[in-house]
Amino acid sequence: MNAPFGPVAIVTGSAKGIGLSVATELAARGYRVVISDINGDDAEVATKGLEGAIAIPCDVRDETQVRALVDATVAHHGRLDLMVPNAGIGLVAPILETDLAAWRQVTAVNLDGVFLALRWAAPAILASGGGSIVNIASVSGTTGTPLIASYAAAKAAVINLTKTAAMELRPHGIRVNAVLPGFIGTDLVTDAAPDFERHLGLPSGGFGEVIEAKQGRFGVPDDVARAVAFLADPDQTWVTGSAFTLDGGLTAALV
Ligand SMILES: NC(=O)c1ccc[n+]([C@@H]2O[C@H](COP(=O)([O-])OP(=O)(O)OC[C@H]3O[C@@H](n4cnc5c(N)ncnc54)[C@H](O)[C@@H]3O)[C@@H](O)[C@H]2O)c1
């Protein structure tokens, strides 16, 4: 595909981690990518080396900013084909130690942020003749996951939102899918590991060992990026409402 005339994608929270890998994969496939992040400086740096990429800062919790992100993308590129609501944060805390403010912090980014991205991207994608939305959920949205109740509940809601939106938007030529990764070796997990270890009584490094044993290995951001690219591929005309698990078998086994 020719970059200046390729399809246009927004990836939220893409200054680093999985989002940056998704943006890189899409750019390699000819998308003109908008790297969007609450951290505008890092988003700007992340565009370097990605042909056709631009940076637009956006806090996905703020509806005005999300609308402005979509408007600025369409003003710059004239269209929008793909939205990847990827921005997310974590919180490791038992339910009995989680206060409402902390719960709302997590759900504001991980659920409200996905709703807002989908809500305001869809009309722009529709105006561009159809396209798709690929939400970044998690396997924690399908299983009880001790210590991350707010995160897991938000991801479960994202999976349901994916399916409901897929049905509502199908008549408009917009496919909506979700990827459900297991544990990927990004800052999100590295930063959370000591809290898991403290609550679970594991030695330093013990959380990583448990995850590697259950998954075969840690996932890497490129694992997720390739799955997003597959679901977004316009050739996948019949793939909508799906929740695609990639976790090395983590959730396939009972023990
Ligand atoms: N790492 C994993 O194991 C894993 C597994 C399953 C799903 N996920 C999901 O993948 C997504 C990306 O996670 P990651 O591991 O790359 O995390 P990360 O911490 O490496 O990157 C998250 C990015 O989101 C940005 N961000 C945070 N709050 C934001 C906001 N309010 N508005 C805009 N941007 C914001 C951060 O600045 C950062 O660039 C998240 O939705 C996460 O829940 C991660």
Best residue for ligand 1 mutational test, from 22, 186, 217 (most atoms within 8 Å of Cβ): 186
Q: Which domain holds residue 158?
A: 3-182+219-245
**Phi, psi of 8, rounded to the nearest 5 degrees:** -115, 130
Distance CA 96, CA 89 (A): 20
Q: What is the pLDDT of residues 131-173, one digit of tens each?
A: 999 999 999 999 999 999 999 999 999 999 999 999 999 999 9
Contact 43, 55 (CB under 8 A): yes
Q: Cβ-count burial of 225 within 10 angstroms (0-12 exposed, 13-18 middle, 19+ buried)?
A: buried
Tell me the pLDDT band of 254, cut-offs 50, 70 and 90.
confident
**How many angstroms separate the Cα of 218 from the Cα of each of 27, 114, 207?**
25, 25, 11
The answer on pLDDT for 3 being more than 50 is: no
The answer as to whether 201 is a domain residue is no
| CATH number for the domain harbouring residue 26 | 3.40.50.720
Residue 192 Cβ < 6 Å to ligand 1: no
- Count of domains in the chain? 1
10 falls within a domain: yes
Ligand 1 centre distance from Cα of residue 171 (Å): 31
**Is residue 101 within 8 Å of residue 116, measured between CB atoms?**
no
Residue 100 Cα to chain centre, angstroms:
24
Amino acid identity, position 160:
N
Residues forming the active site: 151
Q: Which atom of ligand 1 is nearest to the CA of 191?
A: 19
Residue for token pair 């390729």: 6
- Is there a domain that residue 202 lies in? no
The whole-chain average pLDDT of the chain stands at 97
Q: Determine, yes or no, domain membership for 171.
A: yes
* Phi, psi at 42, each rounded to 5°: -65, -35
Q: Please report the atom of ligand 1 found closest to the CA of residue 20.
A: 16
Position 4 scores a pLDDT of 53
Q: How confident is the model at residue 255 (pLDDT cuts 50, 70, 90)?
A: confident
> Which tokens hold the place of 47?
């565009």
State how far the Cα of 23 lies from the Cα of 127, in Å rounded to an integer: 22
Residue 163 counted as domain residue:
yes
**Considering the domain boundaries, does residue 190 fall inside one?**
no
pLDDT tens digits for 208-247? 999 999 999 999 999 999 999 999 999 999 999 999 999 9
Position 206 in a domain: no
For residue 34, the cross-strand partners are 10, 54
**Which ligand 1 atom is nearest residue 85's CA?**
41
Asked if residue 65 has its Cβ within 6 Å of ligand 1, the reply is no
Q: Atom 20, ligand 1: which residue's CA is nearest?
A: 17
Q: Is residue 161 part of a domain?
A: yes
Angstrom distance (rounded) from CA 125 to CA 112: 20
pLDDT range class, residue 1, cuts 50, 70, 90? very low
pLDDT for 146-156, tens place per residue?
999 999 999 99
Q: What is the pLDDT of residue 5?
A: 78
128/183 Cα distance (integer angstroms): 35
